[in-house]
A and B are shown apart, each in its own frame.
Chain A
């Protein structure tokens, strides 16, 4: 077996071992059965919840919030990033705030958002957007900054207009970085939506986890957590595959 294959086999082995532990530990009675249910029961419970439609509304609400917050982060983050890259002085002023942005526990402001926007999807979307957008802004600035000067010179030697310089040289050169911003933003959006639903909401998968926990419906709680995990992993793998397809041959 080659080195790469051994690494891959071990990686999958770790996942399987972890899943097996979750199955075995509760069955052997090593933990309190109220604290952890075996994996097979989580899967079965999730299946039941999906089949009888209990989760449908929650899933719809959560997906809508994620898509809305993610789309909002992209359409605001990109132009903001480009603007910040162009406005040298503004950027110097904002630099320390941007670099320390992710040190702020933004969820502390969630009650404020609820007070402003009411208890619905709005505060959830706003907080998820606020958490995701800065990643796109930062990666856009980084990507545009990293464009090799020689590529810009090629454009200038062809006397390209500023618009074409941007659309044909700066932007395509920066897209691998910007895509990294999208990937980060996707994760932050999911976390933002689920976490704020968990804290305070009237609907959503995150809310369902919290509600089940408060009502000692441990199997329901784990079923929903499992669903969130599967969704997050699938989203991330999908984006990674897309990245490889788009930029894999560009080095």
Chain B
């Protein structure tokens, strides 16, 4: 297992964000976490990524996880290639090698020709590719993605989802992916973890039977529609509860 989480809980003050979550991710596996907003998905990810400490429970993760955030995280003062090479630079990889590796990764995420541009000169979708390349180039044992396409429009999301699917097949990366989009989850994952409203805990794990590799045309597959409906049924009640909770606050 690349990642094992056992009985993980997190409380902020008197707010219980995550309760007793246990989860294991195997090498080469792509696991998505879907859940209503405010269910502690991001908290769970930040704990796994070592950014915050859990209140209780155990995490066993091999290596230093790479993280791709929802918010724009490309460094505006660095060019695309300097951004992608950042992590390598920080871990002491020599200049020639890190530039070669960064360029290869830029090519892989489809940003070839934009190496010397600054992030503000790119579109939102391209900036997110920079962030993905910066994480992938480190070859982490596991990549954590917190709604990486959440700030983008629907079409860009699907295209980038398809790209990610391709990159994943090419690199055999292990990914823990947080999303609130069933389409994204079904397009990309092997397993989908459905979480409950706060305090977030695992409601059910759905194994995705759709054959790989997949591209975005899969959204018109009848099986895709059936699975999407199944996920929504699981989530509907939780989303209602989350909404009611928000109103009650």
Contacts and interface: CB of A to CB of B under 8 A. Distances in A.
Interface string A158-174: 11100010001100110
B61 to A, nearest CB: 12
Interface residues of B, number: 24
A250 B77 CA distance: 6
B141 to A, nearest CB: 14
A154 interface: yes
A157 interface: yes
A158 B90 contact: yes
B90 A154 contact: no
Contacts of A148: 71-73
A92 interface: no
A177 to B, nearest CB: 12
Which of B75, B119, B121 has the most chain A CB atoms inside 10 A of its CB? B75
Contacts of A153: 46, 51, 67, 69, 73
Nearest to A175: B77
A94 interface: no
B69 A250 contact: no
Secondary structure class of chain B's binding surface, majority of residues: loop
Contact of A168 (B73, B90, B119): B90
A146 to B, nearest CB: 12
Interface string A231-251: 000000000000000010111
B53 to A, nearest CB: 12
A157 B120 contact: no
Contacts of B71: 148, 150
A157 B90 contact: no
B87 A249 contact: no
B121 A156 contact: no
B112 interface: no
A173 B90 contact: no
B73 A150 contact: yes
Interface in B42-81: 46, 49-51, 64-67, 69, 71-73, 75-77
B224 interface: no
Secondary structure class of chain A's binding surface, majority of residues: helix
Interface in B87-125: 87, 90-91, 118-121
A158 B76 contact: no
A156 B50 CA distance: 8
Interface string A207-249: 0000000000000000000000000000000000000000101
Interface in A167-214: 168-169, 172-173, 175
B73 A151 contact: yes
A148 B76 CA distance: 11
Given A154-B134, A251-B76, 6 more contacts: A148-B71, A150-B71, A158-B64, A159-B64, A251-B118, A251-B119
Interface of B: 46, 49-51, 64-67, 69, 71-73, 75-77, 86-87, 90-91, 118-121, 134
